[in-house]
Structure formats: C-alpha cells, structure tokens
Amino acid sequence: MKIEIARQAGFCMGVRRAMRLALRAAETSPGPVYTYGPLIHNPQALELLRRLGVEDLREHPDAQKGVVIIRAHGVPPEEKKALENRGFKVLDGTCPRVARVQALARRYAREGYQVIIIGDREHAEVKGILAYTQGRGAVVSQVADLESLPPLEKYVILSQTTQDEELFAFLSQEILSRWPGGKVVNTICHATHERQESIRELATRCEAVVVVGGRGSANTNRLVQIAREEKREAFLVETPEELPLEKLEHFERIGVSAGASTPNWLINGVVERLKSHRNPWRKGLLAALYLHGPLSLSVAGFTAGAALLARGTLHLLQPLLTFLLTFFAHTWNLLIARGFISLCQPYKAAFYARYEKPLVGAVVGSFLLALLLAFQENPVIFVSLALLGGLSALYSLTGLRSLFPGNRTFFIPAYWVVLALILSFPWKNLSPLLFLFPLALWQALYLDLLDLFEDGFLGKESLAAFLEEKKTLLALKMLSIFCFSLDIFLALKYDQKFLIMLPLWIYLLGLAVYISRRPLGRRLFLEYLGLSPGLIFGGLAWIMRGVS
C-alpha cells in the first residue's frame, strides 16, 4: 500500500491564525476566554480548545466579561459591536481573505450596487458578508435561487471564499446571461482553489482517497465530493481510528487530503495509521521514538564526540550512562506532564497512558542502573550525575516550566551538554566543546518546530511557539551558519582537522531549508532526521581522532 498526500491539505492561513490567537489567549488571559460560535469546523480541534478552557459563548449566555474570539468565518459588524458593549474584549480572528470580501461588499453597497453572494446561505461566512451589504445583498446557492432575485441593473457578484470554482463560474454566467452588465469579482480563496485542484490531481493517480476533517465542514465535504466526481472511492474520517482499514488494504495506492479546519496532528495520525497497518517494523520505529530511544542514542553521540575531541579517549561507559540518563529525564518528565503533552502530541500521550506502569519501572530502573555504574566508576561522577538527574526530575514538578518564554528549548540542550561535559571530563582541549551547545540547541529547536507544525498547544515554554514559524526557521539557519563559521575559524587558528566537521553544518542548513516546506505525513521520517546530528557529530569526531 502506497500513500500519497495532496500538495494542499490541513489548516489554511485564516484557520491557523484564528487557532493560534485562541491558544495564545487561553495561555495569557487572566479571565475567561470564549469563541463566538465554533471557532472552526473540527470537533477534535474544538475539544483541544475546551480542555484549555476556551468555550463557546453560546453555552454561557449570561457571561459579561472576558475575552471573545471572533471565528475565522467572521461575523456581522453589529454583532461584534454588541459584544464590545457587553464588556467583552474582542479579538478578531476573521480570516484576512474573508475580511477582504466583507470590505468589498460594504464598498460596493455604498456605491449603490446590488451585491450578489454566491455561497451557502446558512454558512457563517456568508451571513457575515451579507450583513455588510446594508440591505442591498442577496445569496445565490443554486440555479433555483435566481428566480427570487429582483431585476438587476447595477450589481456585483462576489463569492464565499470556500466556494467551488466550477459552481461559481456556472452561477455567475447564469446571472450575467439574464442580467448583462454586472461585475464579477472572484473572491474564492486561492488556497481553496489549490486544495480542490490538488485533490483532483490526487484522484487521477490514486485508486481511493481518504479525506480527513470534520463532518460539519463544508469544504471538507466538498473535497469528498470532488474525489467521487473523479470516479474514485472516497472516505471521510475525523480520526485515525475511523479508518476502514479492511476496505483500504485492497487498494495499492491511496491518496490523503484534508479540509481547511483539520490540524496536522490528525492528518499525520491518519497517514501513520495507514503506513503502519500490517507493518510491524514501522510500529517498532514509532514506539522507539515514543520511548526516546533514538533521542538517547543521539545525545550519546554528543558525549562520544565531546570525549573523543576534548579528552582524547572514549570508553563505552560514557555513552551508556548518557543513554540511560537521557531516557530517564525525558521519559520521566513526559510521564509527569502527560496531560500537557496530550495537547500537542495526543497519540504519544495515549501511548504513555497505556503503558504507564512498565514505563515507570523502566524510568526508575534506568536511573538506578546509571547511578550504580557511575558509583563503580568514580564517586565524583556519581554525585554529579545524581544531582543532574535530580534537577531534571524537578522540571515538570516545579515552576521551571513557566520560568521564562522558551525555557524548555534551552533547558533540554543544556541538560544534554552538561551530561556530555561531566562524562568527558577531564578535558585536554576545550575548543571542540564550543560546538556542543549550539549543536544541541539546533537539535532541540528542530524537534520543537516539528511539534509546532502539528498545530497543537505547546505553551510559552516552547521557543518555537514563542518565536513562531518564520523566526524559528531563521534561527535554525543562523545556528547552522554560526557553527560553519566557527568551524572555519577553529580550523584556521588551531587544527585543519576541524574541517572534517563541515559536512555536518551543511547538512543542518539543508535540513532547515527542507522542513521550511512543512512536509505533511512524514513526522516519523523528519523526527529521525532531526535526531541524526548527535550521531553524525560523534562519527565525525571519531574520524577526526583517527586522522594523524
């Protein structure tokens, strides 16, 4: 079974903007936070907001204070004014493209035009646009609606932003043929057009199509309709658990698309379930990621590289202790903060809930084994590692999570680096250690960005969430360039063998450029790529050590 993902799927710009506005309000607002109607048409995303305390104002008709977020579809201006008069602080989450249509409707109405809106008359967006026409508007959803239109002379045709291109063109032509001389302004969002075209292309290459999204989402249902118009089997699912795997396994090539209100964590979950079906190797790779096995190996690579370059020798015990203590710190904190993790990685949190007891035993066992091995090796290392492990265990039990914005993304690489420094002591050459923190920070920030791409809630402890996507990508590129420049400097000043590290920094820069395209359905692959820098660093350090 081969899986292909549509080139346009998941949150559109307007929905992502509204969701992030709501998530930020939930975190920063001292009072209650409401949405004016459902923020988006996706039950799972709305459940996430509900768990954060963001509720639909319609369920609290007596509320008089707090923050109210206008949904991406927009609202009539008089309703927004009424909210402000009731004492609410209003955050306008209206999609900029919807706001443009509202502005056009208001402008043309003021100029004396009749405004014809092609769209679903019951849709919140259409109701909002209609309110801007000052009583000079009408909605057309089908040919039959033309019979109820008054004679048109000076008029303009606009569209719901998520309208089907073909239907808009057809109805516009029907109106023009009856009442010539009208203006037509195609206000269909380009992303909607791209999404519909991409599923048409997908349907030509695949035997069946899975569309992920809420059943109450008009644009999601339209994607299913388009796939069926292309004579393909189409399945609408809201969650991975709804996949009809028995039916789908008979198809050799399956396409996956998603509505504009579908978060990436749901799309990735569906793709992963499809790819893992009857594939125990892939399930094992995913479980290893959940258990922080590859991450622990990567951090062991940091220690190995530091020991080889700064100390000149490497013993198996050094990376082994690193592996055990990395597994302990990350798994312990995830067990403690499982509820919080479920807001951005729900499937990982569910895995930890299912296997909580054996995981607790493994965490305690790994810490005790690490301390036993360290005590046998060196009492000073034993005390240092015991203190470091104890401090790491306090992170999710204290206020460290909210110490400053982005703190987790700094604490994690700091833990890795201190671990590597302790286990590579005594140092004979300090210059190679200059790479450690920027390299570890790059890896932590990359993994943080992957979580941001999931469209869940990360909180202010995430540097990627604090910086947002563009600045985080820039930071990854700048860290790569900084390490490259530092490498050149050390090679010129101290030893040309440092040039052996250059491929690593080029690789990191290339990886930062690659993920800027936000590839969907490849979380497993991207996470393994993001854990490779530590291993590459250790491998190149071994080569440097061997070069005379």
> Which residues are known to be catalytic?
125
In Å, how far are 116, 156, 177, 289, 428 from 183, measured between CA atoms?
Answer: 10, 4, 12, 56, 78
DSSP 2: E
Fill in the amino acid letter for 257.
Answer: S
Residue of 64, 79, 76 lying closest to 34 (CA atoms)? 64
Q: Report the distance separating Cα 538 and Cα 544, nearest Å.
A: 10
Cis amide bond preceding 426, omega within 30 = yes
Burial class (CB within 10 angstroms; exposed 0-12, middle 13-18, buried 19+) of 47:
exposed
Instruction: Output Rg (C-alpha) for the chain, integer angstroms.
Output: 28
- Let me know: does 117 contact 105? Beta carbons within 8 Å: yes
DSSP 468: -
- Let me know: does 271 contact 24? Beta carbons within 8 Å: no
Residue of 448, 450, 475, 472 lying closest to 459 (CA atoms)? 448
In Å, how far are 89, 235, 336, 491 from 13, measured between CA atoms?
Answer: 23, 25, 34, 45
Q: Report the distance separating Cα 2 and Cα 405, nearest Å.
A: 41
- Let me know: does 35 contact 90? Beta carbons within 8 Å: no
Q: Report the distance separating Cα 359 and Cα 347, nearest Å.
A: 16
In Å, how far are 64, 310, 317, 322, 441 from 415, measured between CA atoms?
Answer: 46, 18, 18, 11, 11
Q: What angle, 0 to 180 degrees and rounded to 10, lies between the N-to-C axes of helices 523-530 and 436-453?
A: 170
Dihedral, 484, 490, 495, 501 alpha carbons, nearest 10: -20
Residue of 349, 18, 9 lying closest to 213 (CA atoms)? 9
Residue of 342, 454, 449 lying closest to 406 (CA atoms)? 449
Fill in the amino acid letter for 166.
Answer: E
- Let me know: does 482 contact 496? Beta carbons within 8 Å: no
- Let me know: does 445 contact 464? Beta carbons within 8 Å: yes
Quote the distance between the C-alpha of residue 268 and its chain's center: 10
Q: Report the distance separating Cα 366 and Cα 374, nearest Å.
A: 12
